[in-house]
Structure 1
């Protein structure tokens, strides 16, 4: 297991129509490091965003897609996605405001 610091865990937010609709239920979606655990993701969200209290974390591993360039077949990189559910009394995450 990698020695990850909390600022290395969250890579970027996922901005899709489905993830934007889930924000009304205080669910936020992020791409995270592939070796990050649920506890590390929870700790990273609570440290990076002031006033955020995590209720639960759901993760999913995404395999790379097959891509062709002529006769050469390759794969894109694997990734991991996390859906973070905040508690009712938690503050909202500011990076999603105004989107």
Structure 2
């Protein structure tokens, strides 16, 4: 947990926005022992690792990120765009687990 010391706790609390609960995220969680989070667009891999370790008290093996472009949407004759997002695929060390049902209590 040495990564926690390098970053301010206030910043780390703002890095993780929400867990991604979808069919694809569930498949990845079962197959690869990974958890998917929606993170801020300027978050770095070390910050994401430190934030997960701080908030969920688990050990993180690795972090992979994916930038997603927002979809173009139409409202009448005007074209708009949804916001771009960034997702983090967090691989936990063997024996580690994040249970979101217990965290909500």
- TM-score band by shorter chain is 0.7 to 0.9
- For residue 99 of structure 2, what is the aligned residue in structure 1? 94
- For residue 79 of structure 2, what is the aligned residue in structure 1? 73
| 1:28 and 2:17 are equivalent in the alignment | no
Give the number of equivalent residue pairs. 93
Cα distance in 2 for partners of 1:19, 1:74 equals 27
- For residue 3 of structure 2, what is the aligned residue in structure 1? none
Cα distance in 1 for partners of 2:95, 2:22 equals 25
Secondary structure of residue in 1 paired with 2:29 = helix
TM superposition score normalised by structure 2: 0.81
Secondary structure of residue in 2 paired with 1:5 = helix
Q: Tell me which stretches of 4 or more aligned residues in structure 1 moved more than 4 Å.
A: none
- CA shift, 1:96, in A, is 5.8
Gaps of 5+ in 1: none
Gaps of 5+ in 2: 1-7
Give the CA RMSD over aligned residues.
Answer: 1.7
